[in-house]
Copies of this chain bind each other. A is one copy, B any other.
Amino acid sequence: MKPIEGRRRVIIEEIQPSIDCGRYPAHRILGDPIAVTAAIFADGHGRVAARLLYRHDTEKHWRVIPLTPLSNDLWRGEFLTDKLGTYHFAIQAWVDHFATWHDDLKKRLAAQPDPHQPSEAISTPQDIPLALHIGAQLIDHIGELIEGPDRLPISEAAANLRTLAAQGSGFYSDPITAELCELIARHPDLELSTRTETDFTIWVDRPRARFSTWYELFPRSCSPTPDAHGTLADVEAMLPQIASMGFDVLYLPPIHPIGLAFRKGPNNNVIAQPGDEGSPWAIGAPDGGHKAVHAKLGTLADVDRLAAAARKQHIDLALDIAFQCSPDHPWVAEHPAWFTKRPDGSIQYAENPPKKYQDIYPLNFDSTDWRGLWDELLSVFLFWVDHGVHCFRVDNPHTKALPFWEWCITEIHKKHPDVLFLSEAFTRPHVMYSLAKAGFSQSYTYFTWRNHKAELQEYMKEITTPPVSDFFRPNLWPNTPDILHEFLQTGGRPAFIQRYILAATLSSSCGIYGPAYELCEHLPFKPSSEEYLHSEKYEIRQWDRSDPNSIAPLITRVNQIRRENPALQVNDTLHFHPVDNPALICYSKVSPHQDNLILTCVNLDPHHEHAGWVNLDLGALGIPSNTSFELEDLLIGDRYTWRNRTNYIALRPQQMPAHIFRITR
């Protein structure tokens, strides 16, 4: 069957950015220029023209900018965003008959015999008068499509060509002015243009979605009074200190009432003693569930105050949303359909045979009342948004239906496009990426288990380059309340410094679970376990923040370097440079405006000094070869002058296991 219009001769392919053929939006940051590229071409030798149509979701009309050709039929355009939310874009392209004709005319003109030196050359006339008439016809046709003031100059241009043609002979120069070309370009004949069949979308986040520094703490451990249960007010009192360390997201584990049934004791003991506080992730008790505040922590009003106080310090308060219930959660009685009932009438608790987690009831996303469940879960987020929380860390999102997340996040973003979501999914790559496509702003990563140079390089390349980087934003955590890696258990204080510097310079977003981190807490529950001994998940801890061995000053300095150097606030320019020692890793980042260049070298061995030769990729650094350049080590202030690609470094873990160089070219 023939197409409706067989004269649409232009093909548009390879549109970028596009995630899964446009099924999902690409993720970008407010203010970033958004580059769109595509392969655009037609049969034959006609000149092709193309333009980019884009609009914010709230706008009716498309904004239009021209696309410009690169090499090999690739075209590019760039637009700026001025609003958070969804942008749509499409591409339209056509054969530009006027430009084609003008190219042809210029060839004819060039082929004229030079009037100043008479010659026999080219006896055949170049049909220039005829060509001028053809041009006049084209211009007339364009004029017919134009309303308004541009019409007159167009028709005059056609007339001029005919007058010129009337000469019939002699030497001709190009009668087409740049003004006329520009005028005509403003009125393309789109009748036979090709337009991308589906529109593509871009999701635009606030800058913190890309550049953020997270600090996690347990409020109940924040009381200045020994053995007292900390409160949200205690957390509020700590805000200045957290801000001064350079963190801009404060993340709290669940703050809701904790279940009593099957409550866990210290060190995950299945039998709790009276007075044991239980796990904040066993959510729900007679006094409330996901929309309630644990009485010992405070009240909703305390949340409002804490969120407001944090905002004053330019800190986002992030709550932990863990969609699971203790047996005492009000939902269990009110919505039995949301849980899995066993043949004996009991409710199915979390299990991984032979392990049992009787204090946790998972929600059943196969419930016949999935609509009711989805609505309630959405309302949980909206409830906390209304209390000033615009950032969420979502617990195990990969055990909830992926279509739910796409719907839920979209619904929240409709009214609140500034809300950020961190996905705590430590699972297979496709599932983690799928959550990012569904709308999560950031994700935890495998960084926590990547300690060797080769695996760090391979993994960081994968997650900082397209296609992954078009939708997935890494947030690197050296530790979490669930993960005390063996490297930290055995590496001593240098290991904590190394891992934080790696996280903070490899990725524009990173975070730590403190004060366990800065105090180098390293004792595991048992050998070969990644669980902390006396994990705060099950008991209140007292932390001595004044410990002289705390690496808080180092972390503060690193965070300050991150804030002062835009190169460290992006990931797409991450570039690794070879070092001839496997214990030494070296990589650079450049700021979007190319005006800030950071080169980081880290000794990955916490126990021994290592030295080696860095072989810099000067091209990636924008440094001409055979020139010297200045490096300032932002960690300790030393200055160096390097020349050419090969340079020597030596790092002592006990002293300072890394350089963070700012290079001035």
Contact = CB atoms under 8 A, between A and B. Distances in A.
Interface of A: 1-3, 6-9, 11, 13, 20-21, 39, 41-45, 72-73, 95, 104, 107-108, 111, 122, 124, 126, 130, 133-134, 136-137, 192, 342-344, 351-354, 356, 365-366, 370-371, 374, 398-404, 407, 428-431, 434
A374 B353 CA distance: 68
B111 A353 contact: yes
A352 B46 CA distance: 12
Contacts of A401: 6-7, 9, 43
Contacts of A351: 104
A20 B9 contact: no
A181 B20 CA distance: 35
A43 B431 contact: yes
A44 B353 contact: no
A399 B8 CA distance: 14
A3 B343 contact: no
14 contacts: A6-B374, A6-B404, A7-B365, A9-B365, A9-B401, A9-B402, A13-B430, A39-B430, A43-B431, A44-B399, A72-B428, A107-B352, A107-B353, A134-B343
A41 B365 contact: no
Nearest to A46: B366
A344 B128 CA distance: 12
Contact of A41 (B134, B403, B428): B428
User: What are the 3 A-B residue pairs with the smallest beta carbon separation, nearest first?
Assistant: A111-B354, A21-B21, A107-B353
The oligomer's copy count stands at 2
A342 B134 contact: yes
A108 B43 contact: no
A41 B434 contact: yes
Contact of A133 (B20, B343, B400): B343
A42 B351 CA distance: 19
A354 B108 contact: yes
A400 B353 contact: no
Contacts of A370: 6-7
Contact of A402 (B43, B344, B400): B43
A168 to B, nearest CB: 12
Given A137-B343, A354-B122, A356-B124, A428 B73 contact: yes
A400 B41 CA distance: 13
A429 B41 CA distance: 11
A133 B348 CA distance: 13
A429 B73 CA distance: 9
Contacts of A124: 354, 356
A491 B40 CA distance: 39
A219 to B, nearest CB: 30
Nearest to A133: B343
B354 A126 contact: yes
A137 to B, nearest CB: 6
B43 A366 contact: no
A307 B73 CA distance: 40
Given A42-B402, A44-B399, A407 B111 contact: no
A431 B45 CA distance: 11
A430 B72 contact: yes
A353 to B, nearest CB: 4
Contacts of A430: 11, 13, 39, 41, 72-73
Given A13-B430, A126-B354, A366 B41 contact: no
Given A6-B374, A13-B434, 18 more contacts: A3-B407, A6-B404, A7-B370, A9-B366, A9-B402, A13-B20, A43-B400, A45-B399, A72-B428, A73-B430, A95-B366, A104-B353, A108-B354, A122-B354, A124-B356, A126-B354, A130-B344, A133-B342
A362 to B, nearest CB: 9
A134 B137 CA distance: 81
Contacts of A429: 72-73
A400 B9 CA distance: 9
A73 B111 CA distance: 63
A354 B107 contact: yes
Instruction: Give the most central of A7, A43, A365, A407: most B CB within 10 Å.
Output: A43
A279 B128 CA distance: 28
A137 B13 CA distance: 51
Given A41-B431, A353-B108, A402-B11, A407 B130 contact: no
